[in-house]
Amino acid sequence: MGLLKLLRSLKKNEKEARILVLGLDNAGKTTILKALSEEDISTIMPTQGFNIKALTQDGFKLNVWDIGGQKAIRPYWKNYYENTDGLVYVVDSSDEVRLKECVEELQSLLAEENLKNVPMLVFANKQDLQFALDAEEIMSHLQLMEIKDRTWTIQACSAVTKEGLQEGMEWLVKTISEKK
Amino acid sequence: MWGAQRVTFIKQSKQIQIIQLSKKRAKMKLKRFLLRYHPPGIILEYQRKNGEVETKSIDLLNLTPETDIDRLIDQILLEEPLISESRKPALKKLIEKLIEKQMENQDQKFECFKVLRAHLLPLTNCAFNKSGDKFITGSYDRTCKVWDTITGQELLSLEEHKNVVYTMAFNNPFGDKIVTGSFDRTAKIWDANTGQRYHTLKGHKMEIVCLGFDPHGMLVATGSMDHTAKLWDVETGQEIFNLSGHRAEIVSLCFNTDGDKLLTASFDNTAKIWDVCTGQCIFTLEGHTGELSCGQFDFTGDYCLTGSIDRTCKLWDVSSGQCIETFRGHNDEVLDACFNSTGNKLATASADGIARIYNVFTGACISLLQGHENEISKISFNPQGNKIITASSDKTCRLWSVDTGNEVQVLGGHEDEIFSCAFNYEGDTIITGSKDNTCRIWKDQYALKGIKKPQPAAGASAEGATD
């Protein structure tokens, strides 16, 4: 990819969309991205920085930025907000213990000036696990109904079985292209 | 010792007439010779009658082991009244030393000396100071760190930027200041020794992605995603000129050796040459059919090159703004290109995973550098001009012989793609910056053992010169 590609993906472009994928560590962000681009998901390490994938969806080129979610590097999420067309917030639906932390991070994201009005897709991931909360429960924990300033949706999914991934991305692309 | 400014810069070709005139009334006294290894040249430090000390340089860009030294010396004496017959033996020694210096680093083998894990997030760019004892790295973690090359110790962490530190430079050859450019839209000038911040350069409306000091260390140029470049006064931190005209992001810039011109390369498919004194655009270099990735002047400042995602690299005549050569052959985007230090060769790096070396004057492709398993995003010659380093998303850097085009070494070990790499001026140390959040220092066998290669008498003194 190289540094030049980083700059090209920063650039505003009518035919391309810049998607930011955020969420706590171990939510499954990188796995979702790899699953979407048909890559092997058997050995995925915690992301120490970021991964970028170019995906094509409905004739739309998506530059998808998957940002590491560990606590120490969350303060740097701001680095990537500029020119974001769509936000994907990934939740580990099986990790009830950390839902509070998950809500707090989401709240502060939604308050960001640079992400104002940016459409948001919430992936309620890991639905393949036995004790995963369903999308409706996640929705109420995250208080999504309170969001008034942007278009959003929540999609139950599993990066491992790939269930729900396409549906979510289709919604996001449709929403972004209507906005552009 | 290279602190002397280029007060007078006389190109050999233009010298003859000037010097014939001044030979009889030469009231200037040669104080000493200084050597400039790369590109090879001899700097004359002389004293005017009024006591002022100035320097001028004799560029010996075509020096090779085959050069007829005695003939060259006769020519220099003919053209340069400051040097008397009695200095012939000294001059000969200096030229022999220069030739020796160009031949250095033939048998070198690099090893990883240190892995520096001080950045929390991926690195961006990196740069050496001229003496090579320090280097700087920038990162997505919003810091720029200053490192000791000898020990690998972190000397300073420059922490004021509010977003990615993307680009950075020393004020070489002096090396006492650093400028950093950030996605936070500002640039900052720092004391390279104490880390004290002198100025914050505010004015750009978007990310700063390229910058540099002019060769005198008086100005900083910044290029931005906001389509403009700016010139700033280093002393006061004030904006001197806003260089507007590009219709898209500026991603690369370069001062010429004299420091009177600035080249900017843009995503608008053009490059522009600016007059540093007036801020006016002298030429727009039009011809590429895709976004530019890089731009650079050669040492003489007579030519400049541009690389483009249109898969070509172009050579331009700086005095006319005309394209004089288009270097073709790559099957994908040209992501970086550079001259060697004398300017007779250039190298291109491409997304096709191949690098190429061209003869600047004939336009011929001399070598194809094949071996990388993925795209190559950075390329540069060592100052001696006999090696090339390439950085790739295949997680390796590779070293190539310029003479044979052979891959001479693979620098492996990084766990993610390599964004940046640089040689020091000696050509015996390399730094590589990676998306894996680390920086590696590589040293050749001499640098590793701390063996100082025999140094030529730097200020080979011309005391006693009676001109």
| Domain spans in chain A, listed from the N-terminal domain onward | 15-179
At position A180, the amino acid (one-letter code) is K
Nearest chain B CA: its distance from A1 CA (Å): 6
Q: Among all chains, which residue has been given the structure tokens 């005198």?
A: B216
Task: Report DSSP state, residue A155.
Answer: E
- Which long-range contacts link B59-62 to residues 24+ away (Cβ below 8 Å)? B59/B11, B59/B12, B59/B299, B59/B300, B60/B95, B60/B98, B61/B299, B61/B300, B61/B342, B61/B343, B61/B344, B62/B342, B62/B344
Would you say A28 is a known binding-site residue?
yes
Would you say A17 is a known binding-site residue?
no
- In the prediction, which pLDDT does B24 show? 44
- In the prediction, which pLDDT does B27 show? 73
DSSP assignment of A89-148 equals EEEETT-GGGHHHHHHHHHHHHT-GGGTT--EEEEEE-TTSTTPPPHHHHHHHTTGGG--
- In the prediction, which pLDDT does A129 show? 96
Q: Across the 467 residues of chain B, what is the mean pLDDT of every consecutive 10-residue run? A: 34 40 62 94 92 92 93 93 92 95 90 95 97 97 97 97 98 97 98 98 98 98 98 98 98 98 98 98 98 98 98 98 98 98 97 98 97 98 97 98 97 97 97 97 92 49 36
CA distance B156 to B165: 15
Q: Where are the beta strands (DSSP E) in B159-270?
A: 165-170, 177-182, 187-191, 197-201, 208-213, 219-224, 229-233, 239-243, 250-255, 261-266
| Residue count of chain A | 180
Q: Is A45 in the B-facing interface, judged by CB distances under 8 Å? A: no
Query: Distance between the two ends of chain B, CA-based, in angstroms?
Result: 23
Tell me the CA distances in angstroms from B273 to B225, B242, B243, B319, B414, one per residue in order.
Answer: 18, 14, 10, 10, 37
Evaluated on CA atoms A18, A24, A28, A30, the torsion sign reads positive
Contacts of B393 in chain A (CB under 8 A): 1-2
**Contact criterion met (CB below 8 Å) for B386 and B353:** no
Query: Cα dihedral angle (B58, B60, B66, B69), rounded to 10 degrees?
Result: 0
Q: Among all chains, which residue has been given the structure tokens 């031949």?
A: B103
CA distance B257 to B11: 12
Q: Is A78 helix (H, G, I), strand (E, B) or coil?
A: helix
In B, residues 79-118, which contact A (CB 8 Å cutoff)? Answer: none
Closest partner residue to A3 (CB to CB) among B121, B124, B142 is B124
CB contact under 8 A, B140 and A50: yes
CA distance A100 to A93: 12
Give the sheet arrangement for strand B134-139, strand by strand. Answer: B123-128, B134-139, B144-148, B154-158
Tell me the CA distances in angstroms from B427 to B27, B115, B174, B357, B455, one per residue in order.
Answer: 39, 19, 19, 19, 14
**What is the percentage of chain A residues whose pLDDT exceeds 70?**
100
* Ranges of chain A whose pLDDT falls below 50: none
Extract the tokens encoding A67: 């940002």
| Domain spans in chain B, listed from the N-terminal domain onward | 2-103, 110-449
CB contact under 8 A, A48 and B121: yes
Model confidence over B381-406: pLDDT tens digits?
A: 999 999 999 999 999 999 999 999 99
- Strand-pairing partners, residue B442, are B112, B430
**Contact criterion met (CB below 8 Å) for B246 and B203:** no
- In the prediction, which pLDDT does B406 show? 97
Query: Angle B320-B325-B328 (CA atoms, 0-180°, nearest 5)?
Result: 150
For residue B184, give the chain A residue with the closest CA.
A79
Using alpha carbons, select from A68, A11, A174 the residue that is nearest to residue B227. A11
CATH superfamily label, A15-179: P-loop containing nucleotide triphosphate hydrolases (3.40.50.300)
**Contact criterion met (CB below 8 Å) for A26 and A44:** no
Model confidence over A1-44: pLDDT tens digits?
A: 789 988 988 877 777 899 999 999 999 999 999 999 999 999 89
In the CATH scheme, what is the code of domain B110-449?
2.130.10.10
A70 is catalytic: yes
CA distance B433 to B439: 5
- Check A48, A57, A70, A130 and give the catalytic one: A70
Nearest chain A CA: its distance from B323 CA (Å): 24
Assess whether the previous peptide bond of B89 is cis (omega < 30° from 0). Answer: no
CB contact under 8 A, A79 and B124: no
ipTM value > 0.90? no
Buried b (16+ CB within 10 A) or exposed e, B428-457: bbbbbbbbbbbbbbbbbebbeeeeeeeebe
The count of other CB atoms within 10 Å of the CB of residue A124 is: 28
Assess whether the previous peptide bond of B65 is cis (omega < 30° from 0). Answer: no
Would you say A30 is a known binding-site residue?
yes
Would you say A56 is a known binding-site residue?
no
Tell me the CA distances in angstroms from A46 to A66, A122, A166, one per residue in order.
Answer: 11, 20, 24
Contacts of B435 in chain A (CB under 8 A): 49
